[in-house]
Structure 1
Amino acid sequence: MIEKKLDRSGEGFYYRNEETGDEYRRVVGGMGWPFKEKPGFIVVVAEDFAEIPGPGKRRLTVIYEKEDDQIEGIFRKVIEAQRFHWLEGIWGNRSHENMMALIRQFNDEQNKKQGALVHILYAPKCDEPDNLTYYAHIIKKQLTKPRNLYFGPESQFPSYLSALPSEKVKGLVDQWPAIAALGYALAALEVHGPEIPRDKLQKTALMDYDPFADE
């Protein structure tokens, strides 16, 4: 579970992993729709707070990954990720009209029960042709020297990545839900910068962040 903490300046936040004690600058999610026999996938990627010397260096860690071949199961895992990981957002392919209709139906039912809703942000280049090339490049860039991206010991990503064609990776990333989810999250980190630059954020917290404190 992730705690969101107000920084000493009172102008920004950082995040702390209660289980490991790790501290993060940013935490984002990505979701890949199910495709044929391949289950849908949700992933959470955290960027370490500590700076690493060298151009382009940062440590990115996959701290949560789940798959489900049922669309409602994926929606519930999205809600779980939103609830326990203080995500900036979850990025996915909002151009898939049939799937977005299912989100609206799910949220309508959740509203009736006053339950949590699923919110998906528009991932960069998610609706472009042959976008698998773009996302495979983003992932590969973070795995080659200087390596920035790391997986847990039980992660499925090494096997998913090894299944990709090694040459001329083309096609739609939606056909590879796990790759899509990871690519969407990494693209969001790359395209959408933090609201407050790292050098302006003072990590020592004044207090834990409570969004309901003023209510």
Structure 2
Amino acid sequence: MAGAFLEAGDGRQFSRVAGGLAWPARGKPGFLVVLGEDLKKDPDFGVRHVRRLTEATEWQGESFMHPEPLLRCALELARLWLVPMWYAPQSVFEHTALRELNRELERERGARVRVTAPPHYYDGNALTLYNAMVRKRVATQKTLHFGESLIPGDLATFPPDLTGVAFDDHPPAAAFFCALAALEFTTPNPTTRRRVAAGPADSVGGY
């Protein structure tokens, strides 16, 4: 969100938020995650810490094996956390379920669910790039914070050389990669910031 910083209910402040979305594929349900980037840089590392704010695997009792509950949940999380954009690779669901939902929202004068590809996803080496991005922040900087999350366990299953790893087989990691890439490879808007309240007051721990 340009020109604003977000303050969660417990007082934590974030310069930006980004949503990561993994579509259901290959018999695996989709996944949603919202990340927040700290308002100030860490003086030791020169980067902002990134914190998992929330994640979801179902919506009102419906799993994300189908796109509709996934997108309904994305709409609600966007409202709660003021998520301006969801990052995900292109999917047939963008041309079917997403368009259908947005047409319905337009008739009701509601907000749209916005989805776009994350930076460098189609460069040909996205998995290697994203994995290195995460490992640097975890191994040398300690600037990623997951709390109670499915994401670290999913990342831990990756072999060192990434042999046989596919995005579609790892929805938590894939959604996380997409959101983090959006924060890592884009520049915050430098305009004067205004405070915007967002999100429930929940605790977020460290990785």
State the partner residue of 2:89: 93
State the partner residue of 1:174: 168
Cα distance, 1:16 vs structure 2: 0.2
Which of residues 10, 13, 24 is equivalent to 2:4? 13
State the partner residue of 1:155: 149
Cα distance, 1:163 vs structure 2: 1.9
Q: Which amino acid aligns with 2:157?
A: A
Counterparts of 2:95 and 2:88, CA distance in 1:
14
Aligned residues: 190
Map Cα deviations across residues 7-64 of structure 1 (whole Å, 9 max, x no partner): xxxx93211001x210111111111111223211111110111332123432110001
Map Cα deviations across residues 154-174 of structure 1 (whole Å, 9 max, x no partner): 211121111222333565423
Q: Indicate if the aligned counterparts of 2:16 and 2:38 stay in contact, CA closer than 8 A.
A: yes
Unpaired runs of 5+ residues, structure 2, are 58-63, 198-207
Q: Which has the higher contact order (CA 8 A, sep 6+)?
A: 2
Counterparts of 1:132 and 1:173, CA distance in 2:
8
Q: Indicate if the aligned counterparts of 1:133 and 1:169 stay in contact, CA closer than 8 A.
A: no
Counterparts of 2:165 and 2:196, CA distance in 1:
44
Q: Which amino acid aligns with 2:171?
A: P
Q: Indicate if the aligned counterparts of 2:7 and 2:196 stay in contact, CA closer than 8 A.
A: no
Map Cα deviations across residues 156-207 of structure 1 (whole Å, 9 max, x no partner): 11211112223335654233222111111111111110111xxx756xx6x7
State the partner residue of 1:7: none
State the partner residue of 1:141: 136
Pair 1:115–1:163, CA change in 2 (3 A):
same
Counterparts of 2:80 and 2:116, CA distance in 1:
18
Would you say 1:164 and 2:182 are equivalent positions? no
Q: Which amino acid aligns with 1:44?
A: V
Counterparts of 2:123 and 2:41, CA distance in 1:
33
SS at match of 1:61: strand
State the partner residue of 1:81: 77
Map Cα deviations across residues 117-157 of structure 1 (whole Å, 9 max, x no partner): 221022123234453222222222221111110011x2111
Question: Please, what is the CA RMSD of the aligned residues?
Answer: 2.4
Unpaired runs of 5+ residues, structure 1, are 5-10, 210-215
85-94 or 180-189: which moved more?
Answer: 85-94
Pair 1:130–1:71, CA change in 2 (3 A):
same
Identity of aligned residues (%): 28
Length-normalised TM-score, structure 1: 0.78
Pair 1:130–1:34, CA change in 2 (3 A):
farther
Counterparts of 1:123 and 1:164, CA distance in 2:
21
Q: Which amino acid aligns with 1:189?
A: L
Higher Cα radius of gyration: 1
Q: Indicate if the aligned counterparts of 2:4 and 2:196 stay in contact, CA closer than 8 A.
A: no
